[in-house]
Amino acid sequence: MDGDTVTSKSLYSIEANNELKNQINSKRHYISLGGLNIAKTTNEGMEALYSLTMNISSDEKQFTDPEF
């Protein structure tokens, strides 16, 4: 990788944007016909949720003073 980046900015009609918004807000976008959750999380997702919800004040003794 030499740092080059490419962006693609597509134009969509108002109807296409409304259709996508309705699909994303629909329960069938997230739940299969069998009633199972389609959006599965990964280990990284679980670790991110843990990091966001951990109580640092109780774990304070585990941290050391950083040296810069």
For residue 62, pLDDT over 80 is answered with no
- Residue at 29 is within a domain: yes
Residue 22 located in a structural domain: yes
The answer to whether position 9 is within a domain reads no
- The total of structural domains in the chain comes to 1
43 lies in some domain: yes
> DSSP characters for 15-62?
HHHHHHHHHHHSGGGTB-TTS-BS----HHHHHHHHHHH--TTTTGGG
**pLDDT tens-digit map of 1-47:** 567 788 887 778 999 899 989 988 888 888 888 888 887 778 888 88
Per-residue pLDDT at 26? 87
User: Is 67 inside a domain boundary?
Assistant: no
pLDDT of 61 over the 70 cut: no
Structural domain for 34, as ranges: 15-53
Rg of the chain over Cα atoms, rounded to whole angstroms, equals: 21
Q: Round to the nearest angstrom and report the end-to-end CA distance of the chain.
A: 30
For the entire predicted model, the pTM comes to: 0.39
